[in-house]
Structure 1
Amino acid sequence: MARDPKLTCATVAVPLNHAEPDGTSIEVAISRLAAADPGKRHGVLLLNPGGPALSGLDMPSTIAPTLPKSVLDGYDLIGFDPRGVAHSTPQSCGLEVASVPGHFPYPAADGSIDANVALARTEAERCAATAGENLRHYNTANTARDLDRIREALGETKISYWGQSYGTYLGAVYSSLFPERTGRMVLEGNIDPTKVWSGEVQGWGKGMADRFPDAAAVAAAQNGPLGLGGTVDEVTRTYLALADRLDRTPAPVPGTQQSMNGAVLRTTTYALLLDNKNLPILAQVWKAAADLADGHLTAAGGEVLKQVFAEAPPTPGIAADNQATMFLALVCGDAEWSRDVGDYATRSAAHREAWPLTAGMPANIWPCAFWKAPIEKPVTVTGEGPGDILILQNRRDHATPWESGQGLREVLGDRAALVGVDNGGHYVYNAGSACADRATVDFLNTGRLPGQDVYCTDVP
């Protein structure tokens, strides 16, 4: 993708290990979309799209069209690729599975996790052998310290920040390490910092149960052409039966080298549930997958499934497994995970029964069980510091569930205010609630939080 010519790009040198500031340095790539009216400039607004391990270098250009003139006048929008990601000293374990969802550890059709255990051990060993000891320094705490080096390079006494998804944890860590250097902070789709990372992932079971009915209702409304069921419950039963069937008998997709199995169906569902505008597309995916399993896939359904397996073109000079490598580096390197294989089997089985939509995956074993211990304990996120943080959270967010947003709100205390929205999906701003959009813009423009937490109910 061609970069927006309005962006100014640069690199900032930061220590690989911030405990050794004069040691080995690495480069972090940053971009700037300058404030439209220097006379009204408030400062810089750093942006992070989450992931973990998504590139953010182009984020100023993608978010700018959604922002009003008052915000564009007042801030330089700053994008960056976090350390280890894309253009910022990219890391690679040489993983055979390059996509992050491909690493979600779905158990076998009978609930066995033996194959997951073997893969987790292999991938942990491969990262240790290929990326090496230095990968341990690519954690969230050091990424937050990099943000402060970016602040220095920009000549700012404070930075404002907007983080989505994983970016909320990065922002919360920065605000705890550098509270007096934190300006206005918007955190959207939130991580509970007390549950990083195993506990946070296990929240996906309930999160999916809360979110899935939104999509099932869309499919039920089209029962005539789709035939998936006329009610939410009927669609849910159809989906669960289809996923189980594909677990047991994967179906080759014509025109590709891929097969549709239960894991692919579930990860595609997870991805499309992130945004409400994708729900009609998701219903078509379910229909196509059902037809494929039945042996009578239509040409239109085949095109739908080809899109499921379409891969983004590689970025020159960046390994295909870069995001997957850094995803593992962060979730395994930020906090210790249990090393008890038997415990994972027990918990996965219980989770599989309690939350059938996720089939035991969130409680299953990850390479983190065989990862070398983190180089430092997770930063304790606290409510100490200026009151400068606005939390945006959807009620039915399956990726970072409502309970995670509530957990962050509780930890931050008087530093924060929460804007909750009666909506599904991972994104709050520019997702249908004028109430939430207004609160966000008002905060960015004035720095004043709402007097009390707000719950928006204006989404159709």
Structure 2
Amino acid sequence: MKVGLRASDNPRAKGAKVINLELFRAKAAESSKRIGVLLINPGGPGGSGFDAARSLATALPATIRNHFDIVGWDPRGTGRSTHIQCGDRLDYLFNVDTAPDSATERRALERVSKRFAETCAKKSGDLLSNVSSFDTVRDMESIRSALHEKKINFLGYSYGTFLGALYARDYPKRVRSMVLDGAVDPSLSPEASLIEQAQGLGRSLKLFFNWCDSSNNCAIGARRASRGYEALRLAIDKRPLRLKNRVFGPTQFDLAVSSFLYSGEAGYEYLAAGLEELLNGDPATLLESADAYVGRSSSGNYDGSWSAFLAVNCLDGPSLGNEVELAAASNRAGIAAKDFGAASVGLGYPCAAWGAKALLGDAQPISAKNAPPIVIIGTRDDPITPVTWAEGLAAQLGNGHLVVAPGAQHTSYPSRDGCLDPIINSYFVRLRVPPDQASCPAPQVVIAKGFPVI
């Protein structure tokens, strides 16, 4: 479907600037039971809603698939829709240290970040200023209208919870039900958000160490996994591995570890295996994981998801500031979250040279008190969106109902356990609102969905 480039653009007008949105739709399995559409966003920003909906069309519980059309779309700027263009060979962006510990490393990070930002501005043109979350929320309303639905049901993961909260605020009467899994807290400053996320990854890493110390199959050091890990990370920082046409350095290391931690306990064995291979001089498993995290194919081309991630975040704001302010923020983050803090700030350096001005000057809480009750899922040891963020969003919305799920993975629904899924299914189908602060016990087996949401 086509929407206007700007809110004021009529896509039907002659000569109008338009954006194409690519949609996926799987109709309700039982038409006689159909309630409406379930619109899905997997997060990112930059994640493909088309792919997520196509996957969830078979992975969601049968009662959801029976009652709802499963609909997803690639938001403007991403994937199959009209997308941001920043070049498809981006190795240069990750071959520098995003947690620089010298002036030389910092200048290198600034140089490649500026190159990336300038390339995005040159190749993307007017689109660069029109891919904000606020634009995407207007697109969600256009999708609802195009599907001839009076109201939507929405399932948003991670960054998708921000879109859902904005939609509930701006179009409260168009919401039938809404579940926000792995919630973002919009009231936090960008620095606080990055630090708390990095601290969450650090806690998740410690859970991995605990698992490793009690395992017979963890090669980085029985009963002292953290020491083995830190020594390995330091060695890669001092002397990155040079491969044929590739570099495996500290940035690839951090991205790979983060990627495995997304899956919680389900990723521990794979992370341990990758670290063991690295100890033996082979970074293949970790490099493959880092590549997947940023959308790099084996041919060396990038799929655009990382470009979209930065484009939306830089445009939304608030900004961390210029390069001097970023350097100070990086130092503070490195102290507050030693394993991932500085790198989290470093990955956002292109925003300092971005070709479009940030829309938000300050972080703003979101209230949607005129919308129906909204269910927020917080996973107890979520490595990416701490459960405190879910608590914060539930309080801000004015009608949020928090459900805490067990596990150390990023997001939880569907979980295939006997607690969370029935709560969410009943809410979607029967509008049965769970009591606030509901909590599910830990299941015997945790199954991670594995959607890559940043």
Relative to the length of structure 2, the TM-score reads 0.87
Hey, what does 2:448 align to over in structure 1?
none
Structure 1 counterpart of 2:66: 73
- Give the counterpart of 2:252 among 264, 276, 290: 264
Residue by residue over 1:12-53, the C-alpha shift from the partner in whole angstroms, topping out at 9 and shown as x without a partner, is 111110133354121111111111111111110001111211
Q: Measure how far apart 1:145 and its partner are.
A: 0.5
Supply the distance in 1 between the matched residues of 2:29 and 2:271 (Cα, whole angstroms). Answer: 39
Structure-2 residue corresponding to 1:386: 371
Q: Which residue of 2 aligns with 1:108?
A: 100
CA deviation vs aligned residue, 1:104-155 (integer Å, no higher than 9, x gap): 9722354853322222222222222221233111111111100111111110
Separation in structure 2 between the aligned mates of residue 28 and residue 198 of structure 1, nearest angstrom: 32
Report the secondary structure of 1:390's partner residue: strand
1:244 corresponds to: 234
After superposition, the Cα gap between the structure-2 partners of 1:403 and 1:91, relative to the gap in structure 1 and judged at 3 Å, is: same
Deviation of 1:84 (Å): 1.7
Pair 1:164-2:149 in alignment = no
Moved more, 43-52 or 116-125: 116-125
> Structure 1's 334 and 214: CA in aligned 2 closer, same or farther, altered over 3 A?
same
Where do residues 146-161 of structure 1 align in structure 2 (5 Å cutoff)? 146-161=139-154
After TM superposition, list the pairs within 5 Å mapping 1:19-418 onto structure 2: 19-21=8-10, 23-94=16-87, 96-97=89-90, 102=94, 106-110=98-102, 113-195=106-188, 197-223=190-216, 225-231=217-223, 234-253=224-243, 256-276=244-264, 277-292=266-281, 304-305=285-286, 307-308=288-289, 320-358=302-340, 360-364=342-346, 366-371=349-354, 372-374=356-358, 381-413=366-398, 415-418=399-402
What SS is found at the alignment partner of 1:382?
Answer: coil
Equivalent position SS for 2:413: coil
Distance (whole Å) between structure 1 residues aligned to residue 19 and residue 241 of structure 2: 45
Query: Retained in 2: the 8 A contact 1:168–1:188?
Result: yes
* Distance 1:44-1:248 versus aligned 2 partners, 3 A rule: same
| Partners of 2:324 and 2:238 in 1: CA distance | 24
Q: Distance in 2 between matches of 1:304 and 1:363?
A: 25
Map of 1:438 onto structure 2: 422
Sort the Cα spacing of 1:354 and 1:196 in 2 relative to 1 into closer, same or farther, 3 A: closer
Q: Is the 8 A contact 1:203 1:362 kept in 2?
A: no
CA distance in 2 between counterparts of 1:98 and 1:338 reads 24
Conserved 8 A contact 1:274-1:426? yes
1:68 is displaced (CA, Å) by: 2.8
Contact 1:43 / 1:75 at 8 angstroms: preserved in 2? yes
Change (3 A) 1:338 1:306: closer
1:422 deviates by 3.0
1:13 corresponding residue in structure 2: 2
Deviates more, 1:331-340 or 1:171-180: 331-340
Q: Secondary structure at the match of 2:187?
A: helix
Aligned-partner Cα distance in 2 for 1:384–1:305: 45
1:95–1:123 CA contact under 8 A, matched in 2: no
Task: Give how far 1:190 is off.
Answer: 1.3
Q: Secondary structure at the match of 1:131?
A: helix
Q: In the superposition, relative to structure 1, how do residues 452 and 226 fare at CA in structure 2: closer, same or farther (>3 Å)? A: closer
Matches of 2:416 and 2:64 in 1, distance apart?
19
- What amino acid maps onto 1:441 in structure 2? N
The CA distance in 2 between the partners of 1:424 and 1:92, in whole Å, is: 35
- CA distance in 1 between counterparts of 2:339 and 2:417 reads 28
Q: Is the 8 A contact 2:330 2:343 kept in 1?
A: yes
Superposed CA deviations along residues 317-371 of structure 1, whole A, max 9, x for unmatched, are xx83521221111000012313242232223223223322115122345211222
Contact persistence 2:24–2:54 (CA under 8 A): no
Q: Is contact 2:368-2:397 (8 Å) kept?
A: yes
Structure 1 residue 169, shift from structure 2 partner? 0.9
Alpha-carbon distance between aligned partners in 1 of 2:190 and 2:327, rounded to the nearest angstrom: 18
Deviation of residue 58 (structure 1)?
2.9
Q: Which residue type is aligned with residue 267 of structure 2?
A: N
| Counterpart residue identity of residue 265, structure 1 | F
Unaligned segments of structure 1, at least 5 residues: 1-11
- The answer to whether the 8 Å contact 1:176/1:380 transfers is no
Q: 2:406 aligns to what?
A: 422
Q: Any gaps of 5 or more consecutive residues in structure 2? A: 445-454
- Percent identity between matched residues is 26
- Return the offset for 1:158: 0.5
Q: Which moved more, 1:195-204 or 1:82-91?
A: 195-204
Q: Is the 8 A contact 1:38 1:74 kept in 2?
A: yes
Distance in 1 separating the partners of 2:442 and 2:238: 43
SS of 2:54's partner is helix
Aligned to 2:449: none
1:434–1:216 CA distance, 2 compared to 1 (3 A): farther
Cα separation, partners in 2 of 1:324 and 1:68, compared to 1, 3 Å: closer
The letter for the 2-side match of 1:121 is K
CA distance in 2, matches of 1:98, 1:47: 31
Deviations 1:379-419 (A, max 9, x none): 86213223331111112112212222222112112x21111
